[in-house]
């Protein structure tokens, strides 16, 4: 039960403009994939600087379709980060492939490019046949891009496809280029970037996702796969004067974005830069507010990146603070502050731990992070006074 006057972990900013667009879409009589989806796809491609964008019903769907379209299947290995939402590894399992986790950097919790390089130099040492390593899913955790320079270079060298999990990272930049573009890095292999418009994301459709790429062939495949694998989607079928039969090209999926989602999310794009700025300002306020507390460590942002500031994550060092992360979570919740945990390592989750026989100590950085990460409220609907309240409450419950 919510405590009166509590500050939720997340609350979206849905203005009259978004509601008006939604009503207009409903009144148009076209409710499923159609003109609003096309408009939203074009707007996202323009915003991130990609040649193409394909709307789907989640980031999970975007990643799954990218893997399928790139031919990933049984016997293949896909590398990824253990500090992520389960969807990132689940989609690899859905293809019948095997996820292999690479540990993260301690200060950013992003996939560690040096550990990746070491793995690729000798995968057999970890029981992986080099021939089977087909793709990598780097996760732009909390909105900070991974080292894409290094990841593309290693993907080129070892012949891997790259599917970016950009669920957190709409608006983020690597070396001045937006996540969702090719960063001007000239990667020649198969590549796609996958975004989420889930309820808590920087812009939201309630649920929704988008795949961006510069690869026309990949886009055509994904567009067919997202709607049952049939040759022309409903929108196109109803546009012509005479009835057109469709062909089933592949037993595809029911993953299409529909116009009500696009109508809700599209007008939010006009605010994204302003909202990102507010997220950054609040992040700085939090960082200043906690700088004197030994044992509360915020994530670091590297100098060649701009985060989307999707999450505010601090690492709670229980040895220094005398309080565990879970105890701090409970104390904050009891004071009416919404909190989250992003994320406990997938290597400690029952399914992955048991299936792949992981042991304590296999992923030391991710395992430590699992016990230390704590997310505090960060969203543009908050006011500065809300941020100050959270800082004050953290000090109070820690008794420092």
Ligand X SMILES: Cc1ncc(COP(=O)(O)O)c(C=O)c1O
Closest CA to 137 of 365, 346, 355: 346
- Is 88 a binder of ligand X (CB under 6 A)? yes
Minimum CB distance to ligand X, residue 118 (Å):
24
Exactly one of 7, 22, 87, 210 binds ligand X (CB under 6 A); that residue is: 87
Cis amide bond preceding 343, omega within 30: yes
Q: By rule CB under 6 A, what string of x and - marks binding of each residue 111-150 to ligand X? A: ----------------------------x-----------
In the complex, least distance from residue 274 CB atom to ligand X, rounded to whole angstroms: 23
Options 82, 123, 180, 209; binder of ligand X; rule CB under 6 A = 209
375 binding ligand X? (CB under 6 A)? no
CB of 373 to ligand X, least distance (A): 13
Residues 302-331 that bind ligand X (CB under 6 A): none
Strand order in the sheet with 305-306: 177-178, 173-174, 305-306
In whole angstroms, the minimum distance from the beta carbon of 301 to ligand X comes to 17
167 Cβ contact list (under 8 Å, min separation 6): 59, 85, 87, 139, 140, 194, 195, 196, 198, 201
End-to-end CA distance of the chain: 28
List Cα–Cα distances, 70 to 66, 192, 305, 307, in angstroms.
6, 10, 28, 28
Query: Is the alpha carbon torsion for 174, 180, 185, 188 positive or negative?
Result: positive
79 has which bridge partners?
A: 100, 136
Q: Does 89 bind ligand X (CB under 6 A)?
A: no
Interatomic CA distance for residues 218 and 206, integer angstroms: 26
Distance separating alpha carbons of residues 141 and 159, to the nearest angstrom? 24
Tokens of 207: 């649920």
Binding window for ligand X (CB under 6 A); candidates: 68-76, 163-171, 241-249, 295-303: 163-171
Q: For ligand X, give the closer residue by CB, 33 or 88.
A: 88
* Euclidean distance between CA atoms 353 and 336, whole angstroms: 34
Q: Are 62 and 213 contacting, i.e. CB atoms less than 8 angstroms apart?
A: no
- Which of 18, 76, 164, 165 binds ligand X (CB under 6 A)? It is 165
Between 196 and 283, name the residue whose CB sits nearer to ligand X.
196
Binding string to ligand X for residues 211 to 250, with x set by CB under 6 A, is what?
A: ----------------------------------------
The answer to whether 18 contacts ligand X (rule: CB under 6 A) is no
253 vs 290, beta carbon nearer ligand X = 253
- Contact pattern for ligand X over residues 47 through 86, marking x by CB under 6 A: -----------xxx-----------------------xx-
Shortest reach from residue 58's CB to ligand X, in Å: 3
* Total site size for ligand X, rule CB under 6 A: 14
196 interacts with ligand X by CB under 6 A: yes
Cα Rg for the chain, rounded, in angstroms? 22
Residues 31, 235 contacting (CB under 8 angstroms): no
The distance of closest approach from Cβ of residue 233 to ligand X in the complex, given in angstroms and rounded to an integer, is: 21
| Residue placing its CB nearer to ligand X in the complex, 123 or 377 | 377
Cβ proximity to ligand X: between 168 and 178 the closer is 168
Catalytic residue IDs:
201
Cβ count near 298 (within 10 Å):
17
Instruction: Tell me which of 36, 168, 306, 325 binds ligand X, using CB under 6 A.
Output: 168
Residues 129 and 155: beta-carbon distance below 8 Å: no
CB count in 10 Å sphere of residue 140: 29
Question: In the complex, which residues of this chain contact ligand X (CB under 6 A)?
Answer: 58-60, 84-85, 87-88, 139, 165, 167-168, 196, 198, 209
């Amino acid at each position: 039960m919510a405590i009166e006057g509590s500050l939720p972990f997340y609350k979206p900013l849905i203005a009259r403009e978004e509601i008006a667009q939604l009503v207009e879409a409903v009144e148009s009589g076209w409710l499923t994939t159609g003109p609003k989806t096309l408009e939203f796809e074009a707007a996202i491609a323009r915003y991130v600087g990609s040649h193409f964008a394909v709307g789907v019903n989640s980031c999970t769907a975007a990643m799954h379709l990218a893997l399928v379209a790139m031919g990933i299947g049984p016997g293949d290995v896909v590398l990824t980060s253990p500090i992520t939402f389960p969807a990132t590894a689940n989609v690899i399992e859905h293809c019948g492939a095997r996820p292999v986790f690479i540990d993260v950097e301690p200060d950013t919790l992003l996939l560690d490019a040096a550990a990746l390089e070491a793995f690729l130099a000798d995968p057999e040492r970890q029981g992986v046949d080099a021939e089977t390593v087909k793709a990598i899913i780097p996760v732009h955790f909390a909105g900070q891009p991974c080292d894409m320079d290094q990841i593309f270079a290693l993907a080129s060298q070892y012949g891997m496809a790259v599917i970016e999990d950009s669920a957190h990272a709409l608006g983020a930049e690597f070396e001045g280029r937006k996540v969702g573009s090719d960063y001007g890095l000239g990667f020649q292999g198969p590549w796609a970037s996958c975004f989420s418009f889930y309820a808590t994301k920087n812009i939201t459709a309630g649920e929704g996702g988008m795949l961006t790429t510069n690869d026309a062939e990949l886009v055509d495949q994904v567009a067919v796969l997202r709607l049952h694998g049939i040759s022309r989607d409903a929108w196109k079928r109803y546009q012509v004067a005479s009835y057109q039969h469709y062909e089933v090209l592949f037993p595809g999926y029911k993953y299409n974005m529909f116009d009500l989602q696009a109508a809700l999310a599209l007008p939010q794009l006009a605010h994204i830069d302003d909202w990102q700025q507010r997220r950054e300002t609040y992040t700085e306020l939090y960082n200043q507010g906690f700088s004197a507390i030994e044992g509360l460590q915020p994530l670091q942002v590297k100098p060649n990146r701009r985060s989307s500031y999707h999450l505010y994550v601090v690492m709670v060092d229980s040895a220094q603070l005398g309080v565990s992360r879970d105890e701090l979570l409970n104390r904050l919740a009891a004071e009416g502050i919404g909190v989250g945990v992003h994320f406990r390592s997938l290597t400690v989750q029952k399914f992955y731990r048991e299936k792949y026989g992981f042991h304590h100590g296999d992923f030391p950085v991710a395992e430590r992070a699992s016990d230390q990460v704590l997310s505090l409220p960060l969203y543009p609907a908050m006011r500065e006074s809300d941020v100050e309240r959270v800082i004050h409450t953290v000090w109070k419950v820690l008794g420092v």
